[in-house]
Chain A
Amino acid sequence: MAISKNENTDFIQRACSDPDAFAQLYLLHYNNVFHYCLRRLFDRHSAEDVTSTVFFKVMHNLSSFDGKVNDFRNWLLRIATNAVNDHLRNSKRRADVIQKVVRNTRAESDFVIPSNDKLLEKKALLKQAILSLKPKYQTVITLRFFENMKLTEIAACLGKNPSTVRSWLSRATEKLRKKLNTATNNGGSI
């Protein structure tokens, strides 16, 4: 849906004190946040849990947002990034996620999205490989390749120097490629 910048700015201002405006703002951004969380966590239910966390944080902290409309997406993604990383921080939970992801890949995807076996296998490899990276590398991979953000946009979103992000991205892509290659050659095992 096309919402002009002014209208979006208006939502943000009003959403601090007007529940209807907040609801509109929420609906406007729900899909983006959910997609981001899903592509970080590869699990619908975890993504929904973290999406919920993100929007509660947004609701309680919206009045502190003083940027412009272009900054809002970055602000939102930064909160989502922190929430996802919090979710993954516990190593046991992280291991559980990986196992659960592998276990559920086929059933989950078959249920929702008509696809072919080759794509599902590819997706399973990608999940394992990405989730085995450090959270910061997962973050830049997701922002770069799924959110299609430029390096400078990722830097703004994460509040990092572009050179730092460039370094992370370089390392992350190198590691991810190695893992994907290894998994492809070893029948799915990283």
Chain B
Amino acid sequence: MNDNEKYIEEFVNDIPFNAPNEKHRDELKNQLLNTFPKHRLQPTVHTVQVWRTIMKSRIPKLAAAAVIIIAVLAGLPFLSRNGTGVALADVLARIEQARAFMYKMEMTTTVSMMPEMPTRIREIQGTTIISTEYGMKAQMEITDPNTGKTTTQQMYILPDQKVMLTLMPEQKKYMRREFDDDFLARVKREKNDPREMLKRIMDCNYTELGRKEIDGIEVEGFETTDPKFSAGMADNVEVKLWVDVETWLPVLWEIEIKMNEQMEIQCVISDFQWDIPVVASDFEPVIPEDYTALAADGYKAPSLSEEVALGRDKSAATDHYDRGEAHYLDGEYDQAFSELTKAIEIDPRLARAYVIRGIAYNDKGEHDLAIADFTKVIEIKPTGAHAYVSRGMAYKNKGEYDLAVADYSKAIEIDPMVADPYRGRARAYYYKGEYDKAWKDVYEAQALGHQVDSKLLEKLRKASGRDE
């Protein structure tokens, strides 16, 4: 930071400004919503990208797929690593003897993303069957208590086929999602699969709640508030399990999870039926003929290792880019080329690395290399005007004026409110001897509030014989 910047930074420090006016904010919101483009209203999800986004969002995850998340939990015991938890270890042993079991669940999700927005509540009722042999099947009803509208979903997780299938009867849609072993392992872990959960629960602290009677059944209770239970996903966890003292099988789960300030889940799991008979056909989904696939059908979930590797690589590429850009701004071209090239090797789609390297090549008079880099940027971001301006500049510097004009024109077509391409094209037209066109671009640039190089204007005046 130079002296001028330090001076201004100190000067502006502590300068007071008005706070936003809530009245204006609310009035504007109403105006916007009243004119929200009606043609854009769509009934449901249509694209792979949206589906992927939805799957990454906590809200629908918890509002719909949470049925699975917590439902599977119902079959889980706490397990202690020492003698005091022997009873729970016995519960686990009993559950594992059941080849299949069924239960009912009622869950309420409360989402309040913004203080000014109405709270979103979803009430979910469902019945789930879990088979150690065939997978999982859930039938859910999801109700918005504010509107009374209810939608249903049937969901299957079929480990043998590595497929998750969702049927949406009201929409007559279905979606199939494939996953690999990595993803399945992650799903098991995140969805509290009993086998995967053991390691985590081993680290949880819990307390005994004593005995009481539920529906004529004597039960013993256990409770944990250990955040480890949610693997750090939630701010607060309160889980109670009530176990039949005679059979040592779960009778009731009471779960309250506060994910953060915006989201809470309350869930009750009950009506267990143990060791129920199931056959393979129970877990063979039938997709009615009039159902159509969502656009995301067949989407293959990336493996965990791919995601991790991709994230790590992008981070490394960014580090090289940051260093390369800093070297460039300091005029250290060799270091800049080295770092930017490394960034590109790691992430070949890191457009900004090509941009800076292209500019650096241009500075050094390496026009062909600059043009190649800007061409790559255009391939990556064909709707961006800036790369065309940069490549136009490189063509102009190389003396390829027709190509320069073409690129500047393309940039203007993309964003006619930016002055740079007009100024660049004016210069290219000047070199081509097309002075009228050059003057026209000068006016356009000036109309956009930008100065045009006085030397160019002087040359243009002399060449055109016009005293503009």
Which listed residue (B40, B355, B420) contacts A63, Cβ 8 A? B40
Q: Give the distance in Å from the alpha carbon of A2 to the alpha carbon of B58 in the complex.
A: 14
- Nearest to B34 among chain A residues (CB) is A19
Q: Give the distance in Å from the alpha carbon of A19 to the alpha carbon of B446 in the complex.
A: 39
Question: Is B385 an interface residue, CB under 8 A from the partner?
Answer: yes
Q: Give the distance in Å from the alpha carbon of A14 to the alpha carbon of B120 in the complex.
A: 16
Question: Is B97 an interface residue, CB under 8 A from the partner?
Answer: no
Which listed residue (B17, B36, B260, B261) contacts A19, Cβ 8 A? B36
Question: Is A126 an interface residue, CB under 8 A from the partner?
Answer: yes
Q: Give the distance in Å from the alpha carbon of A180 to the alpha carbon of B12 in the complex.
A: 11
**B417: shortest Cβ distance to chain A, in Å?**
7
Chain A window 133-148, contacts with chain B (Cβ cutoff 8 Å), 1 for yes, 0 for no:
0111000010011100
Question: Is A9 an interface residue, CB under 8 A from the partner?
Answer: yes
Query: Inside 8 A of A1's CB, which chain B residues have their CB?
Result: 114, 261-262
For window 44-86 of chain A, which residues contact chain B by CB distance below 8 Å? 44, 48, 51-52, 55-56, 59-60, 63, 66, 82, 85
- Nearest to B22 among chain A residues (CB) is A30
A27-B116, A135-B449 in contact; A119/B16 too (CB < 8 A)? Answer: yes
Stretch at the interface among B25-33, B129-137, B221-229: B25-33
Question: Is B5 an interface residue, CB under 8 A from the partner?
Answer: yes
- Nearest to B260 among chain A residues (CB) is A2
**A116: shortest Cβ distance to chain B, in Å?**
9
A27-B116, A38-B17, A173-B5 in contact; A52/B31 too (CB < 8 A)? Answer: yes
Question: Is A156 an interface residue, CB under 8 A from the partner?
Answer: yes
B260 touches A22 (CB 8 A): no
Which listed residue (A13, A26, A82, A122) contacts B29, Cβ 8 A? A26
Query: Inside 8 A of A52's CB, which chain B residues have their CB?
Result: 28, 31
For window 27-58 of chain B, which residues contact chain A by CB distance below 8 Å? 28-29, 31-33, 35-37, 40-42, 49-50, 53-54, 56-58
A156 touches B114 (CB 8 A): no
Q: Give the distance in Å from the alpha carbon of A109 to the alpha carbon of B33 in the complex.
A: 32
Question: Is B216 an interface residue, CB under 8 A from the partner?
Answer: no
B58 touches A126 (CB 8 A): no
A7-B57, A13-B49, A59-B37 in contact; A24/B114 too (CB < 8 A)? Answer: yes
- Nearest to A6 among chain B residues (CB) is B56
Which listed residue (B4, B42, B117, B329) contacts A151, Cβ 8 A? B329
Chain A window 150-174, contacts with chain B (Cβ cutoff 8 Å), 1 for yes, 0 for no:
0110001001111100100110011
Q: Give the distance in Å from the alpha carbon of A16 to the alpha carbon of B42 in the complex.
A: 9
- Nearest to B415 among chain A residues (CB) is A159
Which listed residue (A3, A82, A119, A173) contacts B4, Cβ 8 A? A173
Which listed residue (A34, A35, A66, A82) contacts B417, Cβ 8 A? A82
Query: Inside 8 A of A56's CB, which chain B residues have their CB?
Result: 32, 35
- Interface size class, chain B: 35 or more
**B32: shortest Cβ distance to chain A, in Å?**
6
Chain A window 111-139, contacts with chain B (Cβ cutoff 8 Å), 1 for yes, 0 for no:
01101000110110010000000111000
22 sampled A-B residue pairs with Cβ under 8 A: A7-B113, A14-B50, A17-B40, A17-B42, A19-B33, A24-B113, A24-B114, A24-B117, A27-B25, A27-B29, A27-B116, A44-B18, A48-B24, A52-B31, A108-B18, A144-B5, A145-B12, A159-B386, A169-B5, A173-B2, A173-B4, A176-B8
A122 touches B449 (CB 8 A): no
A24-B113, A145-B12, A177-B7 in contact; A48/B21 too (CB < 8 A)? Answer: yes
Query: Inside 8 A of A31's CB, which chain B residues have their CB?
Result: 20
Question: Is B450 an interface residue, CB under 8 A from the partner?
Answer: yes
A134 touches B449 (CB 8 A): yes
Which listed residue (B18, B116, B329) contacts A162, Cβ 8 A? B329
**A28: shortest Cβ distance to chain B, in Å?**
7
Question: Is A100 an interface residue, CB under 8 A from the partner?
Answer: no
B33 touches A13 (CB 8 A): no
Q: Give the distance in Å from the alpha carbon of A78 to the alpha carbon of B377 in the complex.
A: 20
**B199: shortest Cβ distance to chain A, in Å?**
26
Question: Is B412 an interface residue, CB under 8 A from the partner?
Answer: no
B4 touches A174 (CB 8 A): yes
A113 touches B449 (CB 8 A): no
- Nearest to A122 among chain B residues (CB) is B15
